[in-house]
Structure 1
C-alpha cells in the first residue's frame, strides 16, 4: 500500500511540476504573441502621429500597470510623448531620474509605498524603466508603475525591452520617411519647395470647388550667369541662398516658395486682400535684394532681380496660362532694364 501511495505522490508531484512548466510556457508564448502583434502594429502605423499613444495603451493592457509614460528625445530634450498619468503627477525618484538620465534599465519592488520627490503619491510599489536606444543612440525612455508589490518581474523587463527595441526602430523609420518625403518636396540647395511640389499644390488649389484668389510671382536674378562665370559656382550658390532667404523673410508661412529652375524662383501668395498689397510686398523684396551686399572671402557684390506677377483668376484660370502670364511679365521686366516688377493690374505708386 505504501508503495502505491509513494507512486501516486510522485506522479502528482510530476503533474504539478508539468502544470507549472506549462503555465510558464503559456506565459512566454503569450508574451511572444503580444510582442509580435505590437511589432506588426508598429510596422503598419509607424507614420501615425498617434503611434506612441497606441503603444502606451498596449503596454498598460498587457502588463496591467497603473501608469505608463513614454519619453522621446526631441531637439536634444527628453519630452513626454504619451502618458496615462497627469503631467503634474510625474514626479521622479532619484533612482528614476538617474537611470533615465543615463539610459539604464531598472526594476524596483518595494513592500512599502515608494516615495516621490515633491509629491503626495502613496500608491506605487513597483517601477520598471527601460531605455529606447538604437545602435546605442538614445531615443527615449519607457517608465511603468504598478500599485501591487512584485507585480513587475524580470519577465516584465524582457517584454518591455522587446517593445523598446521595436519603438526605437519605428522612430528611426519615421525619421527616414520624413527625410525621404522632404527630399521629394524640397530643393536640396535652397531648402525651399521644388518645382514638382509647387505645380501639384497649384493644381489642387485651382481644382477646389471654391478656389481662393492667389498670385503667382516669377523671379529671376539679373545677370546670374556673369556671377557664376566671374566668381565661381560656390559664390553663385551663396547668392541663390541669400536670394531665397530674403524672399522667405517677406512672405507668410501659408505662401509657397519654390525653385522653378536655375536662378528662377516662383512664389504663390495665397488669399491676398488687394492686388496692391501683393505688388507692394514684392517691391519690398526687390528693394531688400537690391540693397543686400553679398560677401564671401574677397568677393563682394550687390545683385538685383526681375519680377513678373500674375493673378488668379484674372490672368489665367489654369496652371499653364498663369505660369505663362507670369513668365511673360518677368521677361517684360528684363526688357525694361531689369531690377523691376511687371504686372497687368497695379503699378507702383
Structure 2
C-alpha cells in the first residue's frame, strides 16, 4: 500500500512538474506570438508609410504627413522631424509646442554623436507649464542617407517608460523611409526641372512657359501684363563664323543676363532657336515697362562675350505686346509682340518696338 502511495506522489509530482513546464511553455509561446503580431503590425505600418511616400514624392507636405502617421501609429504625445539645412537643425514637422519639444543638454550630446537614444525619467525631461505638458519618455533616432547624417526623429510621451526598444525598431525603419523619400524627392525635382527647362540655357522651355502663364491667368485676376519676344541679331552668322560652341555660349550668357534683370514675378523662356520670350508683370505704366526692356536691350549690346580666343559683342531685337491694349488673350498678345519683333528686325535691328513709345522713340 505504501508503495502505491509513493508511486502516486511521484506521479503527481511529475504531473505537476510537467504541467508547470507546459504552462510556462504556453505562456512563452503566447508572449512570442504577441511579439510576432506586434512585429507584423509594425512591418505593415512601415509598408503603409513606404507606399504613402512613394505615392506622394512631389507633395510639399510629405514630411508633415509622415510625422502625423508616426503619432497615430505608435501613439506618442508628440513627434518632431528635424532636417539639417546649412549645418543647422530645422524643424520640418511637429505637433508640439516650442517649450515641450526643447532639446536638453543630454539630448544634444546624443545628437552631436548621431546616436539613437531612449530617455525615461520620473522627473520631467522637459516641461511646458503653460500648456500643462510634462515629458517623461523621449526617443531620438537619426535620419541618414548612407553614412551622411541629415536629421532626427524625436518622439515624446507624457508617461514614464512608455518608449522602448520596440519603438526604436519602428522609428529606425521610418527614418530610413524618410531618407529614401528625400533622395527620391530630390531626384523627382531634378527630373521635373529637366522636363520644364531648356537643357542648354537652363530657362523654361516653350511648353512650360505657356502652362505657367495660363495657370496664372486662370487663377489670378491679372489686369495688365506684357509679352516680349526677343531674337538675337545675326545669330546664324555667329554660328557659321565662330562655331556652334560659341553660339551656345552667346545663348547661355544672354539668357542669364536678361534673367538677372527681371523682377520676381517676370518669367523667361526659350521660345525656339535663338528666340527668347518674356512675361512681364505690369505694375508699372506701359512706358516704364518699355524703358525696362530698352535697358535690357542696352545691357545685351554692351555685354562682351568671349570663349578662348574668340570674342564678340552681340545685339538683340525686341518686340513688346501689352494686354489688354494689344490683344484680348495671351495668344493675341504674343502675336502682337512677334509682329513688333519683325518690325524691329527690318528697322535695323538692336531696337525695341512696341505700340507705346516715349520721346525719341519712333511711334508705330
TM-score category (smaller protein): 0.7 to 0.9
2:254 to 236, 239, 243: 243
SS class of match (1:254): coil
Change (3 A) 1:293 1:149: same
Change (3 A) 1:348 1:165: farther
Q: Distance in 2 between matches of 1:204 and 1:82?
A: 29
User: Superposition pairs for residues 1-349 of structure 1, below 5 Å?
Assistant: 3=12, 4-110=15-121, 113-114=124-125, 123-204=134-215, 212-349=223-360
Change (3 A) 1:259 1:160: same
Contact 1:206 1:318 in 2 (8 A): no
Change (3 A) 1:50 1:204: closer
Contact 1:127 1:144 in 2 (8 A): yes
Change (3 A) 1:91 1:202: closer
Query: Which stretch of structure 1 is more off in the superposition, 54-63 or 328-337?
Result: 54-63
Contact 1:218 1:308 in 2 (8 A): yes
Q: Distance in 2 between matches of 1:125 and 1:335?
A: 79
TM superposition shift of 1:227: 3.1
Q: Distance in 2 between matches of 1:122 and 1:341?
A: 66
Return 5+ residue gaps in structure 2 as ranges. Answer: 1-7
Change (3 A) 1:207 1:38: closer
Contact 2:267 2:280 in 1 (8 A): yes
Contact 1:219 1:306 in 2 (8 A): yes
Q: Deviations over 1:45-99 (max 9, x none)?
A: 3332222222212222333333321012335543110112223554434453344
Q: Distance in 1 between matches of 2:219 and 2:158?
A: 55
TM superposition shift of 1:128: 2.0
Change (3 A) 1:205 1:155: closer
Q: Deviations over 1:192-243 (max 9, x none)?
A: 2111112233445666796633221111122223333444333333322332
Q: Distance in 2 between matches of 1:44 and 1:93?
A: 36
CA RMSD of aligned residues (A): 3.0
Return 5+ residue gaps in structure 1 as ranges. Answer: none
TM superposition shift of 1:329: 1.4
Contact 2:303 2:314 in 1 (8 A): yes
Contact 1:114 1:122 in 2 (8 A): no
Change (3 A) 1:61 1:200: closer
Change (3 A) 1:218 1:19: same
- Per the normalisation by structure 2, the TM-score is 0.82
- Give the greater-gyration-radius structure (CA): 2
Contact 2:282 2:289 in 1 (8 A): no
SS class of match (2:268): strand
